[in-house]
Chains A and B, each alone.
Chain A
Amino acid sequence: MMTVSKEIIGDVTLITQGDTHFGADFVVHSQQDILALPKKIRDPFMLAFSAIESVCDPEIPVLTIMDLGVFRSLSIDDKNGLIVTITPTYSGCPAMSMIAFDVEVALGKAGFKQVTVHLSLKPAWTTDWMTKQGKKKLVDYGIAAPIGKSSALKTDRAALFGITEVCCPRCKSNNTEKLAEFGSTACKAQYRCKSCLEPFDYFKCI
């Protein structure tokens, strides 16, 4: 038995079995995963998880990176400390470095001194990973949530003049029209409601 250095995880002592590092053994993707862990090591994971849960997308501040599906996994390793894996929404998404930084800060505040944020490209992010709660928050914020499943769109994603019926997040009318394929960020398109006449963003389904 060996202990993981205490600085890494505040005052909780972690124990590895034999020579196995934690990172190889315990990788969590959700809160349910943590509940399935051996009791002894749940606390630091829970602490780290709730710290990460507080990190929001800098461009859509009502969504956490968990709502968005940008957070992929968390593991604890006695050599490397905490390893948080995130994935970019779009190749050139300028929010990624900000998100990585915010994750480090949030974990630092929670007492974790050694944190590595790892950027993973595989599998490619899709709006299918956005949580139900996330979609609701998005609409309440005034952005229409992605419609349909990305996987189903694969063949006709490039179809011309495609008409997606988007519901206005303000007045809930379906009488809307697309103004432009691209919006204020890479992930959004611009729409206009023909009932209440308000323009709004639509989070594209990719």
Chain B
Amino acid sequence: MTNENLYKYLIRMADNSLIFGHRISEWTGKCPTLEEDIALSNFALDFVGQSRSLYTYAAAIEGKGRDEDQLAYVKLLHDYKNILLLEQPNGDFGYTIMRAFIYSTFMHKFWLKMLNSKDETLAAIAAKSEKEAAYHVRHSAEWVIRLGDGTQESHNRMQTAADEIWRFTAEMFETDEIEMALIADGVAIDPKEIQDEWLSYIQEIFEMATLTLNQDVFMQTGGRSGQHSEYLGYILCELQWVQLTYPNSKW
């Protein structure tokens, strides 16, 4: 492989998008309203679509003749490098929206930075994804405000969600030697560069939503190195079922 670092970087991003897209797709058919059902299904579609672009590019970089489906489906649990935040169960609607808001805000700023990547394909994927992420931020932020500043019950649920989710947020900003090398080459972006604006936007929305940001929590990480919570296993049971039962099946 000519660029192993790039390959690993792409897989991390692709796994994040795939697992989150799959997680959100669990809402399809079960949302509180029809409009929201359509909205979350669209979220899921965007993330799965982004993961496909990333896996396809990773497969080309790997150059072993594998395709995006094989990179996405045919691997063991520890080979998934998504962050822990995205594999957590959906919880109630409030939890789902709160996580979508916190993660989409990060991703929107991430893709905007990635537009300047020296890697043309990554910059192209970013140009597409940035537009989609902007909608994710807007939609979820509006919900966070409505629910946070809604009834006592919805406020409590949003506050609980924020408190539970926060411990998984540090992992979004982790970097290791693989990323550092790519950042130095102008290919990858340093997530720490967007941390301040990410945080200030979260605080801005929380203020409008009358929510409190409790940042003093123990940070849980590990997904990036393949150390997952038990919840990923349940996702994979469903996600990989067709590929494991009928290997290499095609539509």
Residues of A within 8 A of B (CB): 88, 90-94, 121-125, 150, 157-162, 179-184, 186, 190, 204, 206
Contacts and interface: CB of A to CB of B under 8 A. Distances in A.
Nearest to B21: A92
A158 B137 contact: yes
Contacts of B52: 91-92
A122 B120 contact: yes
Nearest to B50: A91
A186 B138 contact: no
Nearest to A124: B127
A91 B46 contact: yes
A200 to B, nearest CB: 14
A121 B53 contact: yes
Contacts of A150: 131
Contacts of A159: 138
Interface stretch (B37-45, B87-95, B157-165, B166-174): B37-45
A91 to B, nearest CB: 3
B13 to A, nearest CB: 13
Interface of B is mostly: helix
6 contacts: A91-B128, A121-B124, A121-B128, A182-B39, A182-B42, A186-B42
Interface in B118-147: 120-121, 123-125, 127-129, 131-132, 134-135, 137-139, 141-142, 145
A122 B39 contact: no
A179 B129 CA distance: 24
A4 B40 CA distance: 50
Contacts, number: 87
Interface residues on B, range: 20 to 34
B150 interface: no
A181 B131 contact: no
A121 B39 CA distance: 24
A150 B129 CA distance: 14
A122 B123 contact: yes
A108 to B, nearest CB: 20
B49 interface: yes
Given A121-B128, A123-B127, A92 B45 contact: yes
A92 to B, nearest CB: 2
Given A121-B128, A182-B41, 5 more contacts: A90-B128, A92-B48, A121-B53, A150-B131, A190-B38
B25 to A, nearest CB: 11
Closest 10 CB pairs of A and B: A92-B49, A91-B49, A122-B124, A180-B35, A124-B127, A92-B45, A157-B134, A182-B39, A121-B124, A158-B134
Contacts of B125: 91, 121
A79 B19 CA distance: 40
A179 B35 contact: yes
A91 B129 contact: yes
B138 A121 contact: no
Contact of A123 (B50, B124, B129): B124
Nearest to B201: A158
Interface in B18-41: 21, 35-36, 38-39, 41
